[in-house]
Amino acid sequence: MFLRANEPHTYLSGDIMECMVSPDNVVCAGFTPKLKDVKNLIDMLTYNYTSPKEQEIAPIALRGTEHRMLYDLPT
């Protein structure tokens, strides 16, 4: 799944691997021991949304390898 910058997300259960571009400017507002900056988060969000299906990225098998996949992100 791919989420653009300033789109909110949360983890409700399970194990998650999150890849972010550097610098990692995270603004938290929920259930976390990290600093919470609700006002800044509300001001920066895009409030755009699409269905989860539209946010899925299909992996592309890399030529010459059996276990490596490319997830080509939109620009």
Residue 33 has pLDDT above 70, yes or no: yes
Backbone angles phi, psi at 53, to 5 degrees: -60, -40
Provide the residue range defining the domain that includes 22: 1-75
Number of domains observed in the structure of the chain: 1
Closest CA to 37 of 26, 47, 46: 26
> What is the model's pLDDT at position 54?
83
6-23 mean pLDDT: 74
What is the rounded CA–CA span in Å between residue 75 and residue 70? 15
pTM > 0.85: no
Strand, coil or helix: what is 36?
Answer: strand
Backbone angles phi, psi at 44, to 5 degrees: -95, -15
